[in-house]
Amino acid sequence: MPMTLRLSRNETDAAEIPAACDAAAAQTINGRLRALRDFSSRERFARNETLFNEGQRADRIFKIISGTVRLCRHTPDGRRHIADFMLPGDIVGFAEFDTHPFTAEAVTDLTLSAYPRARFEQWDSAGPELRAGLLSHLASTMLATQQQLFVLGCRNAKERFASFLLRMADRTDTPQGERLDLPMGRQDIADHLGLTIETVCRVITSLRGAGLITAPNTHQLILNDVAGLRALAEGIATLAA
């Protein structure tokens, strides 16, 4: 979420509608990217490959087509923090200064489109819609980052994990009872939530014991009780078990 834009489902969908490819559409972010199609390149990365490293020059904008990316930073002594995961439709690398503030790695096999940033930022042709779209996206990215800050600042392990699940379900439009895909491993989740892998495992066990979730397999969870999870995430409820 930091330094990146996340497109709302609506806009992403709209971007796929050919009819939207007119002059007005070029004034949205996705419209602008579409206008740069001829300058873009489709690329693939294998699991755990690096898209770019922290400090590297940020001259391209990436739009995730399929797969998941993690944005992470490292401490000199080897600890890792995952600022956020980027899902299909998300855009990486737009809001940075000239260098990337984090490393981007493929969590799964990955397909993306890369656009030259310099062209994207030729503002001369940018209309008020694009400007509004950019500010609005920056604001929502900001909001998400601030939310995560709140989570790390105030909440315990179960609350953090519940927040994470709810956000993932929300981002992927997964309703209660459906299988929620978690493409990242436990260690990634732990590094995102400021916990250890063992604690994440224990929390999952505990939530499963409470009936809030079901775990068909390692990378899929079913949220049985979204309201309960929300109560847990908000700190309204505590888990007896």
Residues that bind DNA (CB under 7 A): 156-158, 185-187, 194-202, 204-205, 215, 217-218
Candidates 17-25, 136-144, 176-184, 202-210: pick the segment binding a second copy (CB under 8 A). Answer: 136-144
Question: Rule CB under 8 A: is residue 177 a binding residue for a second copy?
Answer: no
Find the binder of a second copy among 65, 73, 157, 224 (CB under 8 A): 73
Question: Rule CB under 8 A: is residue 3 a binding residue for a second copy?
Answer: yes
Question: Rule CB under 8 A: is residue 24 a binding residue for a second copy?
Answer: no
Decide whether 76 or 216 has the Cβ nearer to a second copy. Answer: 76
SS (H, E, C) the chain: CCCCECCCHHHHHHHHCHHHCCCHHHHCHHHHHHHCHHHCEEEEECCCCEEECCCCECCEEEEEEECCEEEEEECCCCCEEEEEEECCCCEECCCCCCECCCEEEECCCEEEEEEEHHHHCCHHHCCHHHHHHHHHHHHHHHHHHHHHHHHHHHCCHHHHHHHHHHHHHHHCCCCCCCEEECCCCHHHHHHHHCCCHHHHHHHHHHHHHCCCEEEEECCEEEECCHHHHHHHHHCCCCCCC
Question: Rule CB under 8 A: is residue 79 a binding residue for a second copy?
Answer: yes
Q: Which does 139 bind (CB under 5 to 8 A by kind): DNA, a second copy, none?
A: a second copy
Question: Rule CB under 8 A: is residue 149 a binding residue for a second copy?
Answer: yes
Which stretches of the chain bind a second copy, using CB under 8 A?
A: 2-3, 73, 75-77, 79-81, 83, 95-97, 101-102, 123-124, 128, 131-132, 134-136, 138-143, 145-146, 148-150, 152-155, 191-194, 234-236
